[in-house]
Structures are given as structure tokens and as C-alpha cells.
Amino acid sequence: MGSLFEKAPETQYGSLVGLMAFGVPVLLHAVVPSVKRYSHLFHSTDGCSRANLVLRAALTTVLGRCMAWQHGAYADVVWRAVSDAGLYNALLVVRLMGAGRPSAVADIHLGRIEMGAHDAIIPSGHTPPLDSSAWPLLLKNYSQLNVRSGHYTPIPSGHTPLRRPLQEYIRYGVINLDKPSNPSSHEVVAWIKRILRVEKTGHSGTLDPKVTGNLIVCVDRATRLVKSQQGAGKEYVAVARLHSKVEGGVAKVARAIETLTGALFQRPPLISAVKRQLRIRTIYQSKLIEYDEERNLAVFWVSCEAGTYVRTLCVHLGLLLGVGGHMQELRRVRSGIMGERDSMATMHDVLDAQWMFDNLSDEAYLRRVVMPLEALLTTYKRVVVKDSAVNALCYGAKLMVPGLLRYESGIEVDEEVVLMTTKGEAIAVAIAQMTTSIMATCDHGCVAKVKRVIMERDTYPRRWGLGPMAQKKKLLVAAGKLDKFGRPNEGTPQEYLRALNGQGLKTPAAGSELAGQEEPAIKEERGDVSEEKKKKKKRKLEVKKF
């Protein structure tokens, strides 16, 4: 080790690398005993080259680590001392420890070390990447969304979907239920409503009483998504019984099943509760899973459009094979986005989870059975909204460009998108009025129109009427340049009208007195209609009493 300091400065870097290669055990046995021997080198800084300074700083760090490992009580002091500005103090700490006087470390003035250290935040243009691939539900890959603006005021309202209070969690929940055989879908949904003690429930598509499998049950606010789930595609596994042996065997049955794809004519079976009209349904894909030649049973999988009757499909399969057939058993394995492996629960799970919460105050089981409604919207393209615009959307307002934060790529006009908060809550299902490229370039205009509101009103505080245009409107109303309803009149400035037109808002013609005179009459007519309805209701009640 002594030869390390005797070499020329040009070769000291290579010697240092060689010293590091010995590893931690060698440093502990070789470096620590030599601290006292080479301590004079730490004080002789006059006339040293840059190589000596770099070497001295690196060696100080190594010695500091060794001292910290040997004297764990002084590790914090060593690490505070080892810095660019506090190099002398670091050397002093190392020297005292190497001399066998660790108690003298306490005499060092730590304030001097703290003042010499670089504790300030250094500005940098580098932004570390944010990995949002593991974030839940609608927040997944949030960092990959296109950014319209990053400036907004967070409002301490609402909750992330997985951390809602339990009562609110259930009200915004869905259950991926494994429907049992024999009870109807409506009976099962009514039982869940009674077990969970909620106001209303709905399901994603009727299953016949004997059919088992996937049935999405929506609770309270989630029932607003029932229509969208009823129209989603379905997947089934069916068992068809053929009336006699097929001569071609398995190959012929497989070909026949694959033939039954595309648009097919279907008439509902006799036992169906709907009107038996001829209709067209699309079979997306079908394949044979197993065929038992001895018992003439065929098990096949089919992916089809909502409203397809698999019972009729089995009859058509028998006709196509020339032997006749009917459906023996049926199970739905997927409904829309939810499948058998997506947190499916049974009726026993629902009952046991509610019992555990009522008797043991354990809500973990209930949170596993019930999922947030956002799980049904993960396939929609996302539009992130400012917190100040959330309540206006809950009242049915359009989403304008100033309320936009982030948006997904590939959005087209008239495409259904989900409006969400920065916490990942679903606000509404909306119809896009702009493409992704227009959202990135426009400063005014309507981004999306609300189709179905999901979030309850006043979950977030009211923030409309506080913006610059609203304040200007109030001033114009007070000055008499707008009427009391905020409509333009003869004194309305043209700049204000142009600003409204630029935002895509309809402005009635200035000085339109006829429109102002007609409105009270319309209100009176509406009032008359409402009075007539009340009278009819009273008559009906009187008739019922008698």
C-alpha cells in the first residue's frame, strides 16, 4: 500500500482501481491499520496535483466506510463528514478513529460540517421516468397519456376507487357473479339487493334459469353502466347432444361448428320469454373442445354478439350434420370485459362477506367480492378532467378545452370515452367532439358531450361561475349590457359576443325581444300541463280508493 503514494500522478488512477479490486475484506485488514501511518499525507495539500486531490477524496470515502463498519456508532458522523465541502472534517474523523480514539469524534463541531455540506436542491432539466404500469384501474399507464396542461388546483374531495369508504365503495361497486343453476337472473339480483341492503341493482344480460356462469351485477350508481354491458359481446361453453352417430366423426363435427360463424338467422326458441321474430345475430368465433362419439356429446366454445341464442345454435348444428340435436348444458364464461378468472364470486361469497362485516366488522372479504365500477371502463379511452370541472360535468355540462388535463391517443369524433378525475374516479361516459390532434392544437371548443353521468352530484364542490368569462358576464349583467338571464341585448359589446362564438356557445341575436316575450307563455303552458298531470294523478288515486 505504501507504493501507492510513491508513484507518479499519471499512474495513480490505475493503482487506485487495482486497490478497489481487492474487495471489502482486504480493505478492512489492510487499509484500517495504515490510517495512522499515512495520516500526514492528508494534511499536506500544498502543491498537490489534481490527481492527488481526486485520489485523496476517493481514499477518504473508502476509509470512511471502513471506519463506519468498525465503529457503527459513528457511522452517521463519518457520512456527514465525507462531502466535497467537508473534506478536512472527514479526514479528521478518519484519523481519530484510526488512532484508536473514537471518543474524540464527539468533540468535532457538527455545525461546521452541516454548514459546509451541499444540502440545497440543485436545479436540473432531467425528469426521472414515472412507472405507472402497475397503477390500478383507470390510472394504469397514466404517465403515457398526452398532456394538455399540468396546471390545476387539487380539491380535497372524492376518493381513489380502491380507497373509498365502505358504504360509498359498495354504492359504486359491481359483482362478477357466478350465477347458480335454477334461479332466474332477476331472482339472483333481488337476493343480492336484499343481502347488501342497497337501493337498486341490475345485471348485464339475462341468463336462463338452468344456465350458469358469468353475470355482472351492478349496485346503485353502477346501474348506469348496465346498458353498455348488456350490449357487449359474450362467450359461452355449451354441451350439445346429437340425436345419432355422426359418420364423419370428430373432424366433421369440428368443421360444422367452425362453419357456424358470421351473420346467422335466428328465431328465439319456444321456451323464450321474448317475441319469436326472425333476427340476425353475429357469431365471431367458435371451436370444438371435445367430442364423445359413444354418447354423441359435443362440447364447444363460441364467442358471439349479445342476444344470441346458443340453444338455437345447437339445433342448427344438428341440422347441419343431418342427425338433429339440442342443447344439453350451457355456461357463460365471459360477459363484456369480465371473465371467469376476473375475481368471480358466488352467492355464498356475497352472503358470507356481508355476515363477516355485520358480526366481525371485517370489510376485507366484502371489498374482495365487490369491485369498483371503474373495472368495467378500462377498455374505454380516457380523458382526464380538472377537479374544478367535475361537478359541472355531473350536472350535464359539456367538457370544454380549458377543463382538459390529459387525453389518450387515437380518439375519434363520436367515439365513446370515459371522463375521469386525477384520482382515477369515473365521472361520466361521454361522446368525443374532437380528435386527439385537435385537442392538442385548439384553445377553445367542446371536447366531449356527456352521454351518461356516473358520479353523484356535489361529490366535488361547485366551481362554475368563478372563471374570467363568468365574472365578465356578471359585470355586464350589472351594467345592463346583458339581460337578467345573461342573454345579449342591444348594448352587448361585440368583443363579448365574439368570445362566446369562439368557445362554441350559441348566442341569440342582440335585441331579440320576441324571444323574451314568448318564453313566459311557454312557461305558463308547461305549468298548465303539470297541473293537468297532477289532476289526473288525483283522479287515479280516488278511483283506487273506491
Tell whether the model's pLDDT for residue 25 goes beyond 90.
no
Could you report the per-residue pLDDT of 376-407, keeping only the tens digit for each?
A: 999 999 999 999 999 999 999 999 998 999 99
Please tell me the number of Cα atoms within 13 Å of 52 on its side-chain side: 13
Return the CATH number at 407: 2.30.130.10
Give the mean model confidence (pLDDT) for residues 137-158. 89
Q: How confident is the model at residue 90 (pLDDT cuts 50, 70, 90)?
A: low
**Catalytic amino acids?**
208
Q: Is residue 454 in a domain?
A: yes
Average pLDDT of the chain, as a whole number: 77
- The residue behind cell 351473420 is 263
How much of the chain exceeds pLDDT 90, in percent? 40
153-158's contacts with Cβ under 8 Å and 24+ in sequence apart are 153/386, 153/387, 153/388, 154/387, 154/422, 155/387, 155/388, 155/390, 155/460, 155/461, 155/463, 157/387, 157/459, 157/460, 157/461, 158/390, 158/421, 158/423, 158/425, 158/459, 158/460
CA distances from 313 to 26, 246, 251, 281 (A): 78, 18, 19, 11
End-to-end CA distance of the chain: give it in Å, rounded: 113
Q: SS3 letters for 144-203?
A: HCEECCCCCCCCCCCCCHHHCCHHHHHHCEEEEEEECCCCCHHHHHHHHHHHHCCCCEEE
Q: What is the pLDDT of residue 232?
A: 83
Q: How confident is the model at residue 201 (pLDDT cuts 50, 70, 90)?
A: very high
Tell whether the model's pLDDT for residue 504 goes beyond 90.
no
Q: What is the pLDDT of residue 487?
A: 86
Same domain, 314 and 403: no
Same domain, 297 and 420: no
Same domain, 353 and 217: yes
User: In the sheet where 146-147 sits, what is the strand order?
Assistant: 146-147, 404-407, 381-385, 416-420, 426-432, 446-453, 399-400
Give the mean model confidence (pLDDT) for residues 105-112. 52
Tell me the whole-structure pTM to 2 decimals: 0.65
Query: For 314, phi and psi rounded to 5 degrees?
Result: -65, -35
Q: What is the pLDDT of residue 31?
A: 44
Q: Is residue 509 in a domain?
A: no
Same domain, 76 and 9: yes
Q: Is residue 153 in a domain?
A: yes
Same domain, 257 and 363: no
Q: What is the pLDDT of residue 247?
A: 86
Burial (0-12, 13-18, 19+ Cβ within 10 Å), 432: buried
Listed in sequence order, the residues at least 6 apart from 399 whose beta carbon sits closer than 8 Å to its beta carbon are 383, 385, 389, 393, 419, 430, 446, 447, 448, 449, 450
Give the residue numbers spanning the domain of 186.
172-229+341-373
Q: How confident is the model at residue 416 (pLDDT cuts 50, 70, 90)?
A: very high
Q: Which of 69-83, 165-179, 418-432 has the lowest mean pLDDT?
A: 69-83
Burial (0-12, 13-18, 19+ Cβ within 10 Å), 447: buried
CA-wise closest residue to 164 among 230, 220, 229, 224: 220
Same domain, 354 and 211: yes
Listed in sequence order, the residues at least 6 apart from 143 whose beta carbon sits closer than 8 Å to its beta carbon are 129, 130, 131, 132
Say which amino acid occupies 377.
Answer: L
DSSP at 95 = H
Same domain, 264 and 178: no
User: Does an H or E element contain 390, and which?
Assistant: helix 390-394
Q: How confident is the model at residue 503 (pLDDT cuts 50, 70, 90)?
A: low
Greater confidence (436 vs 469) lies with 436
Tell whether the model's pLDDT for residue 423 goes beyond 80.
yes
Please tell me the number of Cα atoms within 13 Å of 193 on its side-chain side: 14
Q: Is residue 61 in a domain?
A: yes
Answer yes or no: are the C-beta atoms of 353 and 368 closer than 8 Å: yes
CA distance 313 to 263: 12
Q: Which of 105-114, 131-140, 172-181, 364-373 has the lowest mean pLDDT?
A: 105-114
Answer yes or no: are the C-beta atoms of 179 and 215 closer than 8 Å: yes
Give the mean model confidence (pLDDT) for residues 144-157. 89
Same domain, 75 and 108: yes
CA distance 426 to 383: 10
Same domain, 15 and 105: yes
CA-wise closest residue to 81 among 115, 113, 108, 105: 113
Give the mean model confidence (pLDDT) for residues 485-511. 72
CA distances from 418 to 205, 225, 377, 448, 449 (A): 22, 12, 7, 10, 11
Q: How confident is the model at residue 460 (pLDDT cuts 50, 70, 90)?
A: very high
User: Could you say which of 83, 101, 116 is where a domain stops?
Assistant: 116
Strand-pairing partners, residue 201, are 219
Q: Is residue 540 in a domain?
A: no
Same domain, 458 and 473: no
Please tell me the number of Cα atoms within 13 Å of 62 on its side-chain side: 24
Out of 21-30, 44-53, 360-369, the most confident range is 360-369
Q: How confident is the model at residue 191 (pLDDT cuts 50, 70, 90)?
A: very high
Using DSSP, state whether 418 is helix, strand or coil. strand
Number of other CB atoms surrounding residue 376 within 10 Å: 26
Tell whether the model's pLDDT for residue 509 goes beyond 80.
no
Answer yes or no: are the C-beta atoms of 417 and 409 closer than 8 Å: no
Q: Which of 47-56, 198-207, 457-466 has the lowest mean pLDDT?
A: 47-56
Return the CATH number at 205: 3.30.2350.10
Q: Is residue 313 in a domain?
A: yes
CA distance 275 to 102: 94
Q: Is residue 528 in a domain?
A: no
Q: Is residue 510 in a domain?
A: no
Q: What is the pLDDT of residue 414?
A: 92
Greater confidence (19 vs 160) lies with 160
Answer yes or no: are the C-beta atoms of 310 and 268 closer than 8 Å: no
State how many domains the chain has. Answer: 5
Same domain, 61 and 29: yes
Q: What is the pLDDT of residue 498?
A: 81
Greater confidence (101 vs 291) lies with 291
Same domain, 201 and 110: no
Give the mean model confidence (pLDDT) for residues 480-490. 86
Say which amino acid occupies 153.
Answer: T
